Chain A
Amino acid sequence: MKIVGVAACTVGIAHTYIAQEKMENAGKKAGHEIAIETQGTIGTENELSSQQIQEADIVIMAADVKIAGRERFEGKRIIQVPTEVAVKSPNKLIKKAEEVLKQKQAQ
């Protein structure tokens, strides 16, 4: 499936990028297409295109602060967790995304 997401932590120096790396690795390992935008001290990087968002099956927000441009994801299925969860259990998080999508398809 196609996953997009945003990572943003309190200080915007460390957890944001660790979460990005972990989610992208876990997503790829599980055979998904995944792109994670980061919103940190340096600003927004790896910004998601409207096409990426449109095509995404699910959105993962790993954030401890308010996400900039949240309206871009309106109408999408969103999983929201603190960055800690993405850092601690990235594989579980991807699994959860798979389950949420399955439920959605079953409806």
Chain B
Amino acid sequence: MEISEILNDHTIKTNMNAQNKEDALNELANLLLENEYITDVKSFMKDIYAREEKGQTGIGNYIAIPHGKSNFVKEIGVAIGINKSEIPWESLDGKGVKGIILFAVGNDNEGAQNHLKILSLFARKLGNDEVIEKLLQSEKTEDVKKAFCN
């Protein structure tokens, strides 16, 4: 079981140019749609924003982890955006964010134990300062994958 199984080249975007939170979420959600992880951007975003209202998803160190369970998720996955500039975000350390990891998880996860397990291992990595440092410095998709998989 490898974390790389949950990472997809097509849902990783470095040098992103989002100006605000909404831009960033839209861009990443569209990547999830194009790669068939979700079925509808608008409805998926509603569920993501429902979680945003419950508390900060900026975990400090310029990282945000918007997530929520949604009926509009077909397959468990993540979209990762490394933004060129810091954008405002509700965060634990009061700073903005540059690295955004958007989680796609369905409400019904029957038969998805394996994917959920990998996702939990992936989430764990986000608690590691070295991983975060490498992630934020990523220039290319390959760098993002290396940050998580080394």
Contacts and interface: CB of A to CB of B under 8 A. Distances in A.
Are A and B subunits of one complex? Answer: yes
Interface of A: 10-11, 13-22, 25, 38, 40-42, 45, 84, 87-88
A101 B3 CA distance: 37
Nearest to A10: B54
Nearest to B128: A21
Contacts, number: 70
Given A11-B51, A11-B67, A87-B59, A18 B116 contact: no
14 contacts: A10-B51, A11-B51, A11-B68, A11-B69, A13-B69, A13-B103, A13-B105, A15-B59, A17-B124, A22-B127, A40-B120, A42-B113, A42-B116, A87-B59
Interface in B63-79: 65, 67-69
A45 B120 contact: yes
B6 interface: no
A13 B69 CA distance: 9
Given A14-B126, A15-B59, 7 more contacts: A16-B123, A17-B120, A18-B127, A41-B109, A84-B92, A87-B127, A88-B92
Nearest to B59: A87
A13 B67 CA distance: 8
A45 B92 CA distance: 26
Interface residues of B, number: 27
B99 to A, nearest CB: 13
Nearest to B120: A17
Q: Is the interface of A mostly helix, strand, loop or mixed?
A: helix
A20 B116 CA distance: 16
Contacts of B117: 42
Contacts of B124: 17-18, 20-21
Contact of A13 (B55, B123, B127): B123
B5 interface: no
B21 interface: no
B135 to A, nearest CB: 13
Contacts of B126: 14, 17-18, 21
A10 B119 CA distance: 16
Contacts of B119: 13
Contacts of A11: 51, 67-69, 105
Contacts of B103: 13-14
Contacts of A41: 69, 105, 109, 116
A19 B51 CA distance: 18
